[in-house]
A = this chain, B = another copy of it.
Amino acid sequence: MRWTELENEACPVARGLSVIGERWTLLILRDCFLGVRRFDDFQSSLGITRHLLADRLKTLEEKGLLSREQYQDRPPRFEYCLTRTGRDLFPVLVTLITWADAAVPSPQEAPYRLVSRATGKPVAPVLCDAETGARLTPRDLRMIRPGLAEPEADPGRG
């Protein structure tokens, strides 16, 4: 497995990382969800070099997560908008935020919150089974490789 050829792997984690696994990419997408659209706004928000930002935006456009849309003619100017595929990534960001708040605590207050679009109130998102609606904690799930022996015990019981 080579990092630069992850998109050809059978493993969905590897294929996912081929799109969002590079340095800065998920932070660019976070800014998109916060409403950032323009090159200089991403740049000042992230402190990333302009070179790298241009590269990441181009890749995200090519992979179909952002669309580059012209918002003025003379001189031509563009903004970067989340596509359907990009918006579908929101649960990943949500679970990452939830995990990081518990696992990597910070003295500072978070600069944004997750709220319901309908009520405007904060929500605490958790995983459930789509069919039964039953809550799925990490202990309720396992990853198995069909055809291979099971792990001898729960991974990471230690």
Chain A residues in the interface with B (C-beta under 8 A): 1-3, 7-19, 21, 23-24, 26-27, 30, 32-35, 46-48, 64-67, 69, 81-83, 85-104, 106, 108-118, 123-131, 133, 135-136, 138-146, 150-152, 155-158
> A23-B3, A30-B13, A158-B69 in contact; A104/B140 too (CB < 8 A)?
no
Contacts of A100 in B (CB 8 A): 12-13, 15-16, 19
Check A114–B141 contact: CB distance below 8 A.
yes
The residues of B that contact A24 with a CB separation of less than 8 Å are 3
Which of B46, B86, B112, B126 contacts A156 (CB under 8 A)? B86
Q: Which of B14, B127, B131, B146 contacts A27 (CB 8 A)?
A: B14
**Alpha-carbon separation in the docked complex, A19 to B10 (Å):** 25
Contacts of A85 in B (CB 8 A): 103
Known contacts A46-B1, A112-B145, A125-B127, A35 near B92 by CB under 8 Å: no
Residues B98 and A91 in contact, CB atoms below 8 Å apart: yes
Given contacts A99-B92, A126-B130, contact A81 B146 (CB under 8 A): no
